[in-house]
Amino acid sequence: MNRMSVKKILVGLAGVCVVLGLLPQLTDSPYMMHLLVMSCINIMLGLSFSLLFSAGLVTIGAAGFWAIGAYTSALLVTRLDFSYWAALPLSGLAAAFVALVVGLVIVRTPGVAFIIQTMVINMILVQVFGHFEVFGSWAGILDIPSPNPIGPLVFTGKVGSCYLVIVLLLLNILAFYALYTSRVGRAWSAIRLNARLAETLGVDLFRYRLAAFMISSAGAGLAGSFYAHYFQSLEPGMFSVFKSIYVQIYSILGGLNFYIAGPVLGSLIMTFVPEFLRVSKEIEPIVTGAILVGLVIFLPGGILSLPERMRSFPVPFLRRKKETRFS
């Protein structure tokens, strides 16, 4: 990275900050602001999924780590009187810790086994949160306070939450971007593209995969911590495998090969568009399901792959089936 590109990045970042900073001012409607907040949370979850994907692992358990972050934060604040600002990083750490323990076992078998195991982990976590009194059982935890004010900054209202989540999101993006452009991100790419070759280049597959799992989970955990204090009540049903699947859709819709822009685009679309389309609740899963299937067949690279597609094929949906090796 030379002087010029560092400058460009900083300018770009400043521009993005300004735009995002103005966003909450654009609308008076608390509902729109709520959607904005939710889409930011969803983006963070999508980023976490994409990070793991960049290392070649697919997870359907993101909601589980989201839950760990949320519950940790809620418990620390409501039961142990922690300040939110202390609980936030601890939630991330808690999620990373669980990911470490679980990962030591399941990261050894990447591939389909891993996918199923993450799903099982998610289910286990939901059961654990639902079963024990400590976590409030199936009724969950209620009356979670908003984040404590820092000086003049108050986070109780929608506007305050908006700004907070945007800051968290930007930090998240920054951190992940730094990872992707560093040796770590390159190693993950190498593992994803050709793990065998990566091994001969000295990449410790297990360590890097485990690191990806932990970082991805920490990200989801942080998002969970914010969620707990924004929504102010938690119950295990919110964190089902169903939600994890939605997280996957964000990344696929946006574009799997775009680790940051993909989840951003996908989450924004999935959060805002259903509101405007006003699809009846009844047939919503059918529509979502059909979109998902359509995406996979006609546009597996996601929306962001369209420009590329347009260039190489005149008719975007002509695809030859490929004989691929199962890995």
Partner 1 sequence: MPLLEVRKLTKHFGGLSAITELDLDILNSEILGIIGPNGAGKSTLFNLICGFYAPTQGRVTFEGENITGLKAHRIARLGIGRAFQATTLFMKLSVFNNVFNGFHMNYKEGAWKSFLHTPGARREEKEARQKVLEILEFMGVAELKDQICHNLPHGHQKIVGVCIALATQPKLLLLDEPLTGMHSEETSKMLELIEKIRERGITIVLVEHNMDAVMRLCHRIVVLNHGRKIAEGLPKEVSGNPEVIEAYLGREEEG
Partner 2 sequence: MPIAYCLLPIAYCLLLSEFGSPDMTTELFAQLLVNGLSIGLIYVLVASGLILLLGVVRIFNFAHGEFYMLGAYITFGCCEVLHLPFFLSIAIAIVLVTLLALFCYRFIFHYIRGDILLCTAASIGLSMMLLRGALLGFGTQERGLHPPFKGAVGVGQVNLPIEKVVAILLCLAVMFGLYYLLMRTKLGKAMRAVKLDNEVASLQGINTNRIYLIAFGAGCALAALAGGIIAPVFSITPSMGHSLLLNCFMALVVGGMQSMVGGIVGGLVVGLTLSFGMYYVGGLTEILLFAVIGIIIVFKPGGLFGEPEEHE
- Residue 186 binding target from partner 2, partner 1, none, CB below 5 to 8 Å by type: partner 1
| 109 versus 182: smaller Cβ distance to partner 2 | 109
* Under rule CB under 8 A, residue 198 binds partner 1: yes
CA gap 171, 188 in Å, rounded:
21
Among 7, 79, 108, 207, binds partner 2 (CB under 8 A): 108
Whether 221 contacts 72, CB under 8 Å: yes
* Under rule CB under 8 A, residue 193 binds partner 2: no
Contacts of 23 (CB under 8 A, 6+ apart): 36, 162, 166
Binding to partner 2 by CB under 8 A, coded x per residue (else -) over 24-53, reads: -----------------------------x
| 36 versus 210: smaller Cβ distance to partner 1 | 210
Query: Which region among 4-12, 66-74, 161-169, 242-250 touches partner 2 (by CB under 8 A)?
Result: 242-250
| 34 versus 186: smaller Cβ distance to partner 1 | 186
Please give the angle made by the CA atoms of 71, 77 and 83, to the nearest 5 degrees: 130
Residue 315 beta carbon to partner 2: minimum distance, rounded to whole angstroms = 15
Among 23, 167, 184, 245, binds partner 1 (CB under 8 A): 184
CA gap 68, 272 in Å, rounded:
26
CA gap 324, 326 in Å, rounded:
6
Contacts of 1 (CB under 8 A, 6+ apart): 181
Contacts of 63 (CB under 8 A, 6+ apart): 45, 122, 220, 239, 240, 241, 242, 243, 244, 247
* Under rule CB under 8 A, residue 194 binds partner 1: yes
Query: Which region among 35-43, 101-109, 180-188, 264-272 touches partner 1 (by CB under 8 A)?
Result: 180-188
* Under rule CB under 8 A, residue 1 binds partner 1: yes
